[in-house]
Amino acid sequence: MIKVILARLQQKHRTMTYPDGAPPPLPDRFRGRPVIDAALCPAGCRACADACPTGALDPADPARIDLGKCLFCTDCADACPRQALTHSSNYQLAARSRADLVVPRGQQAVEVAGAALDAKLKKLFGRSLKLRQVSAGGCNACEADSNVLNTVGWDLSRFGIQFVASPRHADGLLVTGPVSQNMALALKKTYDAVSDPRIVIAVGACAISGGPYIGHAQVNNGAGAVVPVDLFVPGCPPHPLTILDGLLRLIGRIEDGTRKS
């Protein structure tokens, strides 16, 4: 125990300052919000839409992108003959409405950020939010990036947000995975076990739209088919910073990058 204490003292403070300070540096390989230069999109070209494995790009208007279906792969960018599509470093992707994740032509640079809950729910959950995590057929990538928030570097609990073992002790659910047929009833029962008022957060492309399994007979194309969803966090998987930013915006702890006390 003495060795552990000494090692901890030597390491000093390791928790990031975000959102009081700048966000942690993102790796060069990070793929944030897709950006389409509509001026470079040749008329009638649908190469990117044909290459997309999940139909995130509208064939009738390839400059219209559904972030809820996007896997943040590079298939579309690789297929574009004019390199009109790139990935930015924008990690602020969460949205309250599923429709807000469908970005029309000419609005790719507009920030999509989760709006806060209404005043009553924000008063209830703004300083203490307990979540039950439900893996509804996920591959463990979104689950792993959600769990990272519990480490000393992120320290999710400093915001009053914690994961709990029982839905009876929870204020809401954090759902990952495409919601397989075998998990649909379990998800519904878990939701019913949470007392009102309750919230649901869908993390990852699978939980939003089915991800790479979209349209498969054995999945329900996301949590929204089984329970009402209050926050959508895109990604495959979303970066922990994207998840944290969405959670803090949901409970009104940050607005436009500024932390609220």
Q: Is residue 7 part of a domain?
A: no
pLDDT for position 192: 97
Beta bridge partners of 162: 130
**For the CA atoms of 32, 50, 64, 75, what is the dihedral angle to 10 degrees?**
10
- In tens, the pLDDT along 132-150 reads 999 999 999 999 999 999 9
- Average pLDDT, rounded, for the chain: 88
185 belongs to a structural domain = yes
Q: The domain spanning residue 148 has which CATH number? A: 3.40.50.12280
pLDDT over 70 for what percent of the chain?
A: 91
User: Is 200 a domain residue?
Assistant: yes
Whether residue 96 is contained in a domain is answered as no
Q: From residue 132, how far is each of 27, 32, 165, 168, 193 by CA, in Å?
A: 29, 27, 6, 9, 11
The answer for 95, left when phi > 0, alpha when psi is -120 to 50, beta otherwise, is beta
- Tell me how far apart the alpha carbons of residues 102 and 242 are, in angstroms, rounded to a whole number: 17
pLDDT at 112: 54
Residues of the chain with pLDDT under 50: 108-110, 257-261
- Residues 234 and 243: their CA atoms lie apart, in Å, by 9
**Structure confidence by residue, pLDDT tens digits, 162-218:** 999 999 999 999 999 999 999 999 999 999 999 999 999 999 999 999 999 999 999
State the residue range of the domain holding 222: 119-259
pLDDT at 258: 45
Position 76 in a domain: no
Contact (Cβ atoms closer than 8 angstroms) between residue 173 and residue 216: no
Q: Report if residue 31 sits inside a domain.
A: no
Q: How many domains does the chain have?
A: 1
The pLDDT value given to residue 260: 45
